[in-house]
A = this chain, B = another copy of it.
């Protein structure tokens, strides 16, 4: 187990009707907030009205910035920064999924920075302070509600980049599983894929003696895979929605990853795809994770065999651990197919045209990944495996 520091103060308010507490909670972090959201779905569902009423009842002043896109854009972040400055906003309330929360985080940090918000993502500047953020979560997926990370897209060059700091963890996250009833199946499945990926990125590690976090990862994965068909078959199944929603949070709040060095290569590999093509991040991950696994599993066959056995009940063949490992990867692919995810680039009509460019961009700051260090050629071959 590696030495670690863990600190996560996000207050979770989980369960039915909890969005009625939005005003009360927001009041603890600010008097004048930027209400940040995506498209019209929160207005259609009535959530917008319940939240603005709750804010007003609590005496919290608010102004609005909607329009966050699924891959949130730096252009809107810049707009948000200007708005927060000119209106002297002292907190941000993000109502939505990971994109809205990520956009809010980028605004929150950039408000205190003289240069351009994109500088945080290129490493030109680093975190110093930020506006406090509150969240009403509507899409269980990114785990952004308790993480310190944010991913933003810069259309100028088709870049999608991540940046993170503990100070960006939201102060509170209101999580009502009922708010996820109306998600389209495809979006639900993309979210499920995203949360499994967050666990894989922690699970596949070279750190040794990590039994307790291995088992926490495995138990959470089993739960997600067991509950996934339930939420897809019965959109209003509260209990299954609740399991998925909480699993999505712990998948990314680091509690499953303490004491181990994770490997974020696949997220990076995927970001290059959704940075260029109009494809959901989760769908991209369902395609790229099996490909990455096939490329790297020989690096630690025992770990992949353990994964196959403990997550998918594949019997361990001690005389052929490779077979066991590959059966696990096959089971994972079958799971993604079962929830309606693509598992090949060809299914989403992406050909090899940009493989070279994407592989170059993914590795432009040097090799990526910790489990196996991947150079540009490795990334290229992983794209090929995903064809």
Question: Nearest chain B CB to A208's CB is how many angstroms away?
Answer: 7
Q: Give chain A interface residues in 244-263, CB to chain B under 8 Å.
A: 246-247, 250, 255, 258-259
Q: Does chain B have a CB within 8 A of A6?
A: yes
Set B9, B211, B242: member contacting A209, Cβ < 8 A: B242
Q: Give chain A interface residues in 239-297, CB to chain B under 8 Å.
A: 239-240, 242-243, 246-247, 250, 255, 258-259
* Complex Cα spacing A209 to B227, Å: 10
* Complex Cα spacing A280 to B296, Å: 49
Contacts of A3 in B (CB 8 A): 14-16, 18
Q: Which of A59-67, A152-160, A215-223, A366-374 contacts B (4 or more CB under 8 A)?
A: A215-223
* Complex Cα spacing A348 to B289, Å: 55
* Complex Cα spacing A12 to B11, Å: 17
Question: Nearest chain B CB to A254's CB is how many angstroms away?
Answer: 11
Q: Does chain B have a CB within 8 A of A387?
A: no
* Complex Cα spacing A208 to B223, Å: 14
Q: Is B211 in contact with A226, judged by CB distance below 8 angstroms?
A: yes
Known: A9-B7, A14-B6, A258-B246. A1 touches B215 (CB 8 A): no
Contacts of A10 in B (CB 8 A): 7
Q: Is B9 in contact with A9, judged by CB distance below 8 angstroms?
A: yes
* Complex Cα spacing A211 to B241, Å: 12
* Complex Cα spacing A247 to B216, Å: 11
Q: Does chain B have a CB within 8 A of A332?
A: no
Contacts of A14 in B (CB 8 A): 3-6, 258-259
Known: A211-B223, A215-B220, A219-B218. A12 touches B5 (CB 8 A): yes
Question: Nearest chain B CB to A106's CB is how many angstroms away?
Answer: 24
Q: Give chain A interface residues in 1-56, CB to chain B under 8 Å.
A: 1-16, 18
Q: Is A255 in contact with B258, judged by CB distance below 8 angstroms?
A: no
Contacts of A330 in B (CB 8 A): none
Q: Does chain B have a CB within 8 A of A350?
A: no
Question: Nearest chain B CB to A287's CB is how many angstroms away?
Answer: 26
* Complex Cα spacing A255 to B1, Å: 20
* Complex Cα spacing A227 to B239, Å: 33
Nearest neighbor of A12 in chain B, beta-carbon distance: B6
- Residues of A in contact with B (beta carbons under 8 Å apart): 1-16, 18, 208-209, 211-212, 215-216, 218-220, 222-223, 226-227, 239-240, 242-243, 246-247, 250, 255, 258-259
Extra A-B contacts (10), CB below 8 Å, given A3-B18, A4-B12 = A5-B11, A5-B12, A7-B9, A7-B10, A209-B243, A212-B219, A212-B243, A212-B247, A216-B216, A242-B259
